[in-house]
Amino acid sequence: KMANETLKAQLGNAAWKLFHTILARYPDDPTKQERTTLSQYIQLFGQVYPCGDCARHFQKLLKKYPPQTKSRKTAALWGCDIHNKVNEKLGKDIYDCTTILEDYDCGCGADELEADI
Protein backbone atom coordinates (compact mmCIF):
# COMPACT_ATOMS: atom_id res chain seq x y z
CA LYS A 1 0.00 0.00 0.00
CA MET A 2 1.25 3.45 -0.87
CA ALA A 3 2.04 6.00 1.82
CA ASN A 4 -0.92 8.08 2.96
CA GLU A 5 0.67 11.31 1.76
CA THR A 6 1.05 9.86 -1.75
CA LEU A 7 -2.57 8.74 -1.82
CA LYS A 8 -3.75 12.14 -0.57
CA ALA A 9 -1.68 13.90 -3.26
CA GLN A 10 -3.09 11.64 -6.00
CA LEU A 11 -6.62 12.32 -4.83
CA GLY A 12 -5.85 16.06 -4.88
CA ASN A 13 -4.40 15.88 -8.40
CA ALA A 14 -7.43 14.03 -9.74
CA ALA A 15 -9.90 16.27 -7.93
CA TRP A 16 -8.26 19.51 -9.10
CA LYS A 17 -8.08 18.20 -12.66
CA LEU A 18 -11.82 17.57 -12.76
CA PHE A 19 -12.55 20.82 -10.89
CA HIS A 20 -10.61 23.05 -13.32
CA THR A 21 -11.85 21.14 -16.38
CA ILE A 22 -15.48 21.63 -15.36
CA LEU A 23 -14.88 25.37 -14.93
CA ALA A 24 -13.07 25.62 -18.28
CA ARG A 25 -16.13 24.01 -19.96
CA TYR A 26 -18.74 26.10 -18.15
CA PRO A 27 -20.84 28.29 -20.50
CA ASP A 28 -19.56 31.72 -21.58
CA ASP A 29 -23.00 33.16 -20.98
CA PRO A 30 -24.71 30.91 -18.41
CA THR A 31 -28.43 30.92 -17.61
CA LYS A 32 -29.64 31.56 -14.05
CA GLN A 33 -30.16 27.81 -13.68
CA GLU A 34 -26.63 27.02 -14.90
CA ARG A 35 -25.20 29.54 -12.43
CA THR A 36 -27.14 27.98 -9.53
CA THR A 37 -26.09 24.49 -10.59
CA LEU A 38 -22.40 25.40 -10.63
CA SER A 39 -22.57 27.14 -7.24
CA GLN A 40 -24.33 24.17 -5.69
CA TYR A 41 -21.93 21.69 -7.30
CA ILE A 42 -18.94 23.51 -5.81
CA GLN A 43 -20.52 23.81 -2.36
CA LEU A 44 -21.38 20.10 -2.39
CA PHE A 45 -17.91 19.19 -3.67
CA GLY A 46 -16.55 21.04 -0.62
CA GLN A 47 -18.83 18.99 1.61
CA VAL A 48 -18.15 15.53 0.19
CA TYR A 49 -14.40 15.88 -0.49
CA PRO A 50 -13.07 12.74 1.20
CA CYS A 51 -10.11 14.28 3.06
CA GLY A 52 -11.84 15.73 6.12
CA ASP A 53 -9.27 18.40 7.02
CA CYS A 54 -9.08 19.49 3.37
CA ALA A 55 -12.87 19.71 3.14
CA ARG A 56 -13.12 21.78 6.31
CA HIS A 57 -10.46 24.20 5.15
CA PHE A 58 -11.97 24.42 1.66
CA GLN A 59 -15.42 25.20 3.07
CA LYS A 60 -13.90 28.14 4.95
CA LEU A 61 -12.30 29.36 1.73
CA LEU A 62 -15.66 29.05 -0.08
CA LYS A 63 -17.28 31.27 2.55
CA LYS A 64 -14.61 33.91 2.12
CA TYR A 65 -14.35 33.55 -1.67
CA PRO A 66 -17.77 32.42 -3.01
CA PRO A 67 -17.82 30.81 -6.49
CA GLN A 68 -17.90 33.34 -9.34
CA THR A 69 -20.37 32.06 -11.91
CA LYS A 70 -21.00 35.01 -14.24
CA SER A 71 -19.07 33.54 -17.19
CA ARG A 72 -16.63 30.79 -18.14
CA LYS A 73 -13.69 33.14 -17.77
CA THR A 74 -14.68 34.47 -14.33
CA ALA A 75 -15.48 30.95 -13.08
CA ALA A 76 -12.17 29.52 -14.34
CA LEU A 77 -10.17 32.41 -12.86
CA TRP A 78 -11.99 32.08 -9.55
CA GLY A 79 -11.13 28.34 -9.53
CA CYS A 80 -7.50 29.07 -10.26
CA ASP A 81 -7.38 31.67 -7.47
CA ILE A 82 -8.95 29.40 -4.86
CA HIS A 83 -6.58 26.56 -5.77
CA ASN A 84 -3.77 29.10 -5.29
CA LYS A 85 -5.11 29.81 -1.79
CA VAL A 86 -4.72 26.09 -1.05
CA ASN A 87 -1.25 26.12 -2.66
CA GLU A 88 -0.32 29.04 -0.43
CA LYS A 89 -1.46 27.23 2.69
CA LEU A 90 0.54 24.13 1.71
CA GLY A 91 3.65 26.17 0.85
CA LYS A 92 3.41 25.33 -2.86
CA ASP A 93 4.20 27.59 -5.82
CA ILE A 94 1.50 30.01 -6.99
CA TYR A 95 0.15 28.99 -10.38
CA ASP A 96 -0.02 31.49 -13.28
CA CYS A 97 -3.73 31.80 -14.14
CA THR A 98 -3.38 33.73 -17.40
CA THR A 99 -3.78 30.66 -19.65
CA ILE A 100 -6.18 28.72 -17.43
CA LEU A 101 -8.73 27.98 -20.19
CA GLU A 102 -6.09 26.56 -22.54
CA ASP A 103 -4.44 24.64 -19.70
CA TYR A 104 -7.64 22.68 -19.05
CA ASP A 105 -8.76 21.93 -22.59
CA CYS A 106 -10.50 18.55 -22.29
CA GLY A 107 -10.61 17.87 -26.02
CA CYS A 108 -14.40 18.10 -25.87
CA GLY A 109 -14.71 21.52 -27.54
CA ALA A 110 -16.20 19.87 -30.62
CA ASP A 111 -19.29 18.95 -28.54
CA GLU A 112 -20.39 22.56 -28.75
CA LEU A 113 -20.11 22.64 -32.53
CA GLU A 114 -21.45 19.11 -32.95
CA ALA A 115 -18.54 18.46 -35.26
CA ASP A 116 -15.54 16.15 -35.06
CA ILE A 117 -17.60 12.98 -34.59
Binding site for ligand FAD (CB under 6 A): 8-9, 12-13, 15-16, 20, 49, 53-54, 57-58, 80, 83-84, 86-87, 90, 92, 95
What DSSP assignment string belongs to 4-28? HHHHHHHHHHHHHHHHHHHHHTS-S
- Min dist CB 113 to ligand FAD, Å, is 26
Give the residue from 84, 93, 38 showing the smallest Cα distance to 61. Answer: 84
- Min dist CB 28 to ligand FAD, Å, is 19
- Give the span between the Cα atoms of 4 and 40, in whole angstroms: 30
- Min dist CB 24 to ligand FAD, Å, is 10
Residue 18 near residue 11 (C-beta atoms within 8 A): no
Q: Which is nearer to ligand FAD, 18 or 110 (CB)?
A: 18
Q: Which is nearer to ligand FAD, 27 or 54 (CB)?
A: 54
